[in-house]
């Protein structure tokens, strides 16, 4: 089994999944992650099965498996919040149905932010909401993302994730997405990935791990900041990131880059480019590219 590596790609209403696959192919990826619309809002168009079938054909030509494709739920879903609870539940449910229609089986979700609520109350709300959403037999698994602990985010420790999972009735539809930037910022030392995985296994169980977000971090271990850096350009470092990607225990799990676009900003902030084609190259070659910016500039010129 080889690497399953890709990045966040765009999803536009006129090209839908087909456009996402084209973008992933340009990055020489063999999987990808997308949002079904803008991550900050809930405007969503209807899905064209014709575009979906074309996307499947293009995936087949490029050795991409549907089971490795990831969808990310929008940030505005917050199951913690009493006021937004009904909205968040119904939107998440619709998101699951959209995934099912696209044939996508993994939906990444931020557990939520407790804001003014007492932590246990917030976690109880998350469990309640997920049990409503997961109370049917759709073939879509919700992957709870490990968070950095910025503000009042829930999910900054493996124990919190475990507590949520323990409350879920439909266990076959719940999983975890590990984000390397987030765990670094939460205080887990990625340079000792085997210790981190031991702890994950003991507390949650490695069988729950179904997606990995590969990001370097702009901030120190335990900073609770959540700012992603390009691979090898942050505090985690290239060798430690490679240590995660090629770890035997993580073989076959889809790995998704969510690193920032780079380039020089003009007045319209237009001249920034996706780094993924070059980061995926670095990862496949296991060789750090200290000339990322120039390579990207000349490629996209």
Of 23, 185, 226, 279, the one binding Zn ion (CB under 5 A) is 226
**Which range, of 9-17, 113-121, 188-196, 226-234, touches Zn ion by CB under 5 A?**
226-234
Q: Which is nearer to Zn ion, 21 or 80 (CB)?
A: 80
**Which range, of 6-14, 130-138, 192-200, 225-233, touches Zn ion by CB under 5 A?**
225-233
Q: What is the distance of C-alpha 32 from the center of its chain?
A: 10
- Of these partners, Fe ion, Zn ion, none, which one is at the site of residue 185 (CB under 5 to 8 Å by kind)? none
Q: Which is nearer to Fe ion, 44 or 271 (CB)?
A: 44
Using CB under 5 A, count the residues that bind Zn ion.
1
Residues 227-286 touching Zn ion, rule: CB under 5 A, are: none
Q: Which is nearer to Fe ion, 56 or 260 (CB)?
A: 260
Query: Helices in 115-260 by DSSP H: which ranges?
Result: 119-133, 158-167, 180-186, 193-203, 238-245
Q: Does 179 bind Fe ion (CB under 5 A)?
A: yes
Query: Helix, strand, coil: what percent of the chain each, to 5?
Result: 40, 15, 45
Give the shortest CB-139-to-Zn ion separation in angstroms. 27
Give the shortest CB-226-to-Zn ion separation in angstroms. 5
Residues 141-200 touching Zn ion, rule: CB under 5 A, are: none
Binding mask 126-165 for Fe ion (x = CB under 5 A): -------------------x--------------------
Using CB under 5 A, count the residues that bind Fe ion.
3
CA distances from residue 258 to 99, 230, 289 in whole angstroms, order as listed: 20, 9, 18
The 10 Å CB-count burial string (b at 16+, else e) for 33-50 is bbbbbeeeeeebeebbee
Give the shortest CB-150-to-Zn ion separation in angstroms. 8
DSSP H or E run through 282: helix 276-285
Give the shortest CB-72-to-Fe ion separation in angstroms. 6
Per DSSP, which regions of 37-147 are E strands? 70-72, 106-109, 141-145
Collect all residues with Cβ–Cβ distance below 8 Å to 34 and sequence separation of at least 6.
8, 9, 10, 11, 17, 20, 69, 70, 71, 72
Say how far apart CA 275 and CA 260 lie, in whole Å.
Answer: 7
| Cβ atoms of 101 and 71 closer than 8 Å | no
Q: Does 213 bind Fe ion (CB under 5 A)?
A: yes
Q: Which is nearer to Fe ion, 23 or 145 (CB)?
A: 145
Say how far apart CA 204 and CA 165 lie, in whole Å.
Answer: 8
* Binding footprint of Zn ion on the chain (CB under 5 A): 226
* Binding footprint of Fe ion on the chain (CB under 5 A): 145, 179, 213
């Amino acid at each position: 089994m080889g690497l399953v590596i890709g990045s966040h790609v765009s999803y536009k209403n006129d090209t839908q999944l087909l456009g996402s696959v084209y973008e992933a192919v340009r990055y020489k990826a063999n999987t990808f992650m997308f949002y079904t619309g803008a991550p900050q809002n809930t405007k969503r168009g209807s899905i064209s099965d014709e575009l979906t079938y074309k996307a499947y054909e293009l995936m087949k030509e490029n050795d991409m498996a549907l089971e490795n494709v990831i969808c990310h739920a929008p940030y505005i879903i917050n199951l913690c919040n009493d006021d937004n609870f009904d909205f968040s539940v119904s939107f998440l449910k619709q998101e699951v149905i959209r995934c099912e229609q696209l044939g996508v089986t993994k939906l990444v979700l931020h557990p939520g932010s407790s804001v003014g609520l007492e932590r246990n109350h917030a976690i109880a709300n998350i469990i309640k909401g997920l049990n409503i959403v997961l109370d049917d037999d759709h073939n879509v698994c919700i992957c709870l993302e490990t968070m950095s602990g910025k503000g009042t985010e829930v999910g900054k420790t493996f124990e919190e994730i475990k507590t949520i999972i323990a409350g879920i009735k439909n266990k076959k539809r719940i999983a975890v997405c590990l984000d390397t930037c987030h765990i670094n910022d939460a205080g887990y030392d990625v340079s000792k990935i085997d210790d981190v995985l031991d702890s994950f296994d003991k507390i949650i169980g490695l069988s729950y791990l179904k997606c990995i977000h590969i990001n370097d971090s702009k901030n120190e271990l335990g900073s609770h900041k959540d700012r992603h850096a390009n691979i090898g350009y942050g505090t985690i470092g290239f060798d430690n990131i490679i240590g995660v990607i090629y770890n035997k225990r993580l073989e076959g799990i889809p790995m998704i880059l969510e690193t920032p676009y780079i380039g020089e900003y003009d007045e319209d902030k237009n001249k920034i480019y996706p780094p993924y084609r070059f980061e995926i190259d670095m990862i496949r070659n296991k060789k750090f590219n200290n000339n990322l910016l120039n390579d990207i500039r000349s490629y996209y010129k």
